[in-house]
Amino acid sequence: MAEVKGVVPVKFFIASLYSSAECLQKAIGFVEKEWGEIDFQSADYPFNVTDYYAPEMGSNISRKLLVFRELYSPVQLVDMKLRCNAIELEISVDNKRLVNLDAGYLDHNKVILASAKDAGQKVYLDKGIYADLAGRYKAGRYQPFEWSFPDFRDGRYDKDLAAVRKIYMKQLKLWRDSQINA
């Protein structure tokens, strides 16, 4: 029988979509109150892979990755996604979201995004939330799958994810050292 081990903490992030920098800053204020300081923000990338969000957010949508300093247990993904959904509603105007906040995390070998939508590759977690495996670390980068979102497949976030992984690996070493010395 395999030995059951404790959970290793992961690096949580939010893949935000927005059409107004002012609305994004408002959302950042909310998420930092929930999960603490952001230690990495990606560049602002054009979100031009679908017009799905245009009716709510307009046509000039950008994506920015917001990464939290503190490491968390991956079991917190469900509550994080539900809170992100609530924040989206708090910021909305006339029942239209001004930001979309997709909770996720990375560890040394994968990227997971939370989803409220079922699909063949998604694993049900709890409270209507699924884990969507978006990438696997291999050959120096997080490799996408055929089902990964198009903007995660085309490589535009590769440098950012690599930088976040580097930060995470340093934090993970410190965490492991603290576990040995505890």
Chain segment 106-140, per-residue pLDDT in tens: 999 999 999 999 998 999 999 999 999 999 999 99
Average pLDDT across the chain, whole number = 94
What would the pLDDT profile of 76-86 be if each residue is shown by its tens digit?
A: 999 999 999 99
Residue 170 maps to a domain:
yes
Residue 35 maps to a domain:
yes
Residue 4 maps to a domain:
no
Residue 89 · residue 96 · CB < 8 Å: no
Number of domains within the chain: 1
Residue 15 maps to a domain:
yes
Residue 3 maps to a domain:
no
Token pair 């980068």 in the structure block, residue: 141
Residue 84 maps to a domain:
yes
- Quote the pTM value: 0.93
Residue 27 maps to a domain:
yes
Residue 22 maps to a domain:
yes
Phi then psi for residue 24, to 5 deg, are -60, -45
Which range of residues forms the domain containing residue 161? Answer: 10-177
